[in-house]
Each structure stands twice: as structure tokens, then as C-alpha cells.
Amino acid sequence: MSRISKEVINQAKQAQEAARIMAGVPTATKNQALLKIAEELEKSMVEILAVNEKEVLRGQEKGLAGVLLERLKLTEQKIRGMAEGLRKLAYLEDPIGEVPKMWRRPNGLQIGQIRVPLGVIGIIYESRPNVTVDAAGLCLKAGNAVILRGGSEAFDTNQTLHQKITVALSEAGLPVHAVQLIQTVDREAVEVLLGLNEYLDVLIPRGGPALIKRVLDEARVPVIQTGAGNCHIYVDSAADLDMALKIVFNAKTDYVSVCNAAESLLVHQMIAAEFLPQLYDLFQANGVQLRGCNRSLKLVSGIFPADKTDWGKEYLDYIMSVKIVDSIEEAVKHINTYGTGHSEAIVTDNYNQAWRFLQEVDSAAVYVNASTRFTDGGQFGLGAEIGISTQKLHARGPMGLKELTTTKYIILGQGQIRE
């Protein structure tokens, strides 16, 4: 066994032991730890920023892309944001110990389901160092142990943040192995993690499509898939066109690089001639490119022709694909074919069309007359989230504290046996 294998397996074992302890830790202690991490981060502001600055410089020298540098770079404001996030987490209700249901059987057995931590969570992520703190906080509040594997370009920053977390855990009397960071940039460590189904209860990849695909393809640990959002808006024949204009504009342009931004527009043929020129003018004035089907090109000459790959694309940019459809059936079918199961909206004043869309679109979040930008734990009122799940097992949509837990059955008897 390689040295890296040994180290990662050892970390996983320590995480499993820590998880057993964490499962029984009182809420007050967990909250205190969160507040202490926040304090440590703010106290160590200068140190963290210095380490991060050096790392950003090295990234520049290595020719790291601008977007990645932007994500990597910490500021005083970003660190205060992390601390604030932890303090908010401390105020959220602890999901552990909730008994959502309990009932009595004819034989007197009292049976309930109690919410318990998942155990050991592995998180594999890319350049943003704030994930180190956010993910640690969420896993900790839900009573789990977590093993973090950040991007190599953020290795030093993550190490420093992790040191502060460790100090705080220790001060709060929690096991320091409850939050661990992989201690090497070697990719072998990821390989090892993906196979550790004996110790890890779930893996959550956070990052681009390549990372997620690799984890899904290779992991023997159960994976929760987050991320890709090729979100659609369907403007129905019965849409209020002013509302449609506002919703499409907001969903596309409010924040183009996030997963709940709209990428593709479907327009009913009955209103296309009226709606598309208005949208085109609005987009034109704001630097948004439209790539459309042949019918749309005939209506508005400035629309670029879309090729077949456009329907499946998550642009994360000031670009939107547009297709004219003959019916809601066609719209739903298009979405269920090309969508990523994230967020889709219909704009309509027709009750039956709204109902059909809600029923038939197979996505984590389905909207009537609202922007897809609301798919977010905070916006839904669920609190901080670790990502948006686009799969159907265990968690679908924003994954918050509850999604980082499981349940077990508890059965209280008085000597019952099965006859």
C-alpha cells in the first residue's frame, strides 16, 4: 500500500471514530464550536490573507485562468462572510434528534424514526477556499465528520483555514478529526477516497462537470450529484408578456455564472412574433446574445443560429438559446430531453398549462411565474446549503442540514416477540 493510501485510510478511520462521538454531541457544544471557528478566522485575518496572497501570486505565475484566480482570491470581506455564515449556522435548528414520526402498533410496540447524522462525509471541490469553511460548518452542525479535499491551487489557503478550524474544535472540546483536510495535492488521494465505502457514507463533489463525472464514474462510495444547471424558461401562449420579459431577463442576467441561471428559452409559436423582438431589444441593450432555432431567426434577424449542441449547453455566460415550440407537450419534452433536472419555469396565466408543467417537468425545482434564480437554500428559506442536488435519491434540490442526515428506526418494547 502506498504512503498516500495509508494516510488517507488512516484519516478515514479517524473520521469514523470522530463521527461516533459527534453523533452524541449536544447542540450547544456544536454551536459553540461554530462560533469559535468564526472567531478564529477573524482573529487570523492577516495571516490567512498573507498565505492566500502568496498562493494567488503563484497561481498567476503558473498562468491560472482569471476566473480561477478570482475564486481563489480571499478578501477581508470574504473572510468576514465565512464567519458570518458560521454564526448564522449556529442559530439554525439542529436537525439531529428530531422524531418526525412515531406510532404504536397493535402489539404495543412504539416505533419511531429518529434523525441521526450520516456519519462520515467526503467533499471534493475545486478552487474556492470558502468551501473549506462552509462545508465544515454544515457537516459539523449536522453531527458528521468530514474529509475535505480542495483544489491543488488553493492548498496552502485551505491548510491555513483548516488549522483555524482545528484550533476551534479543540477549544470547544470536539474531536479534531471531525474536520480533516487531505494533506497532499497528489491525485492519488482522490482515487483512494473514491473507494473507501467502508469508512465514508457519502461523497459530494462540488465543481465543474469533469470533476463530477469522474467522481460518478469511479466512486464506490455513494455520491450525491450537485451542480449542472441547464435551466429553461417556457413562455406559454397564455403568458403575461411583460412578466415573461422580466422573468427571462432576471433569470438570465442576474448572475450568469451560477447553476440556477436560465440558459434556454422556449417560446410558444402564438406569441413568438410579439415576444421575441422585445426580448431581443432588451438583451441587445444589455449585451446578451440569443442563439435560436430556424423559426426564431426568421422573426428576428439579429438572433444567431443555434446548432444542435446549444440545447444541451450550460453557458454560464451572457448567452441564451431560444426555440419556438408548437405546444406545451413539445416544451416539456424538450426540457426533459435536454435539461439537467435542475430548475425550470413556465410563464403563463392559464391554470391548466401551469398544472401540466408542474406535473410533467422532471426537475428538482419547477416554477410557475417566477425566476429560476430562487433555487437556493437561503431563498427557499431552508438556510445554508452545501449544493443543489440534481439527482433523485436521498436529496433533490438545495441540500441543507437535513440532507446531511439520515434516520434510524427506534423501537420501544415491553418484551414483545413475533409469533
Residues near its own copies, by CB under 8 A: 20, 23-24, 103, 105, 109, 111, 113-114, 116, 118-119, 197, 201-202, 216-217, 220, 222-224, 240, 243, 246-247, 249-251, 254, 336, 358-360, 362-371, 373-375, 379-381, 391-394, 396-397, 406-418
Strand partners, 232: 264, 344
Element (H, E) at 168: helix 155-171
- Quick one: 61 or 217, whose CB is closer to its own copies? 217
Minimal distance, residue 38 CB to its own copies, in Å: 26
- Taking the least distance from each CB to its own copies, the nearer of 54 and 394 is 394
Q: Which is nearer to its own copies, 29 or 75 (CB)?
A: 29
Residue the block writes with cell 471541490? 125
Q: Which of 102, 185 has the CB closer to its own copies?
A: 102
Q: How far is the CB of 97 from its own copies (least distance, A)?
A: 9
- Please list the residues that pair with 188 across neighbouring strands: none
| Minimum separation from the CB atom of position 286 to its own copies (A) | 14
In the complex, what is the shortest distance from the CB of residue 407 to its own copies, in angstroms, rounded to a whole number?
6
Shortest Cβ distance from residue 234 to its own copies (Å)?
14
Give min distance, CB of 74 to its own copies, in A. Answer: 26
Helix pair angle (241-253, 269-285), 10° resolution: 50
Cα separation of 357 and 76, whole Å? 44
> By C-beta, is 171 or 254 nearer to its own copies?
254
Torsion of CA 120, 121, 123, 129, to 10 degrees: -80
Number of other residues whose CB lies within 10 A of the CB of residue 251:
26
Residue 258 Cβ, how far from its own copies at the closest point, in Å? 11
* Pick 327 or 416: Cβ nearer its own copies: 416
Least distance to its own copies, CB of residue 193, Å: 16
Minimum CB distance to its own copies smaller for 299 or for 366: 366
Measured from the Cβ of residue 245, the count of other Cβ atoms closer than 10 Å reads 18
Q: What is the DSSP string of 195-263?
A: H-TTT-SEEEEES-HHHHHHHHHH-SS-B--B----EEEEE-TT--HHHHHHHHHHHHHS-TTSTTSEE
- In sequence order, what are the residues at sequence separation of 6 or more whose Cβ sits closer than 8 angstroms to the Cβ of residue 271? 235, 237, 239, 241
Classified as helix, coil or strand, 151 is: coil
For 56, the grid coordinates are 494567488
Please give the DSSP secondary-structure letter assigned to residue 97. T
Half-sphere exposure of 98 (CA within 13 A, CB side): 14
Nearer to its own copies among residue 183 and residue 336 (C-beta): 336
